[in-house]
Structure 1
Amino acid sequence: MKWNLRLTAANKGIWKASELQRSLAEHGLVISAGKMSGLWSGQPVSLKLEDLDVICVVLGCEIADLLIPEPDKVSRPGQQSEAREAAVGATVAPVVVPKRRDGRSLPPM
């Protein structure tokens, strides 16, 4: 899913996170500056459905305006092997193996 809050807010004339934060507070949803920054600038880690309702009311939008499906990003059975075959000619990043600083071995994986 793609989080589309900034564009939806801009379509309603809200250009700053602080403006939206004040409007949300007026409707009973008080959001910390840190969480508001996450909502505004990126993909939220978590969001309560009740909070999503308030955001939709404040912006006068539907959930479909805020959450845009991206079905191409969903892997299906059999696609991983196809992706590996396509990447044969591509450069592969080295595998990072964590090591403890005290020299002791890591537990088995």
Structure 2
Amino acid sequence: MDSTEVVARLEAERERVLALAASSRADVAAMVEASRDSNADDEHDPEGQTIAYERQQLEALGSSARRRLAEVDAALQRVADGTYGVCEVCGRPIPDERLEARPTATRCVQHAG
């Protein structure tokens, strides 16, 4: 896989993750705004999830998106540095199949665990 293709895939993933993070932030903000003037006691509502639980789920999605963005940015930096596709443990090439499945991989299969 050539570096142009790698960068294109990583940039596309970066855009996808940025959109997910923005959506998550907007959902949290909307939830906070919607519950701001409410006096609902959702902690004792037997009908469903609490607002706190739903907010925590949305914040976890946002946190996951931020971690994924950091992984993608680090992979793009490795491409720029010429170290993309090299195992950070043993220094051997990471197989193309692994990079196809996980473009942000920093370790070969042997050292992935």
Q: TM-score range by the shorter chain?
A: under 0.3
Q: Which structure ranks higher in relative contact order (CA pairs < 8 Å, sequence separation ≥ 6)? A: 1
Give the TM-score taking structure 2 as reference length: 0.26
Give the TM-score taking structure 1 as reference length: 0.26
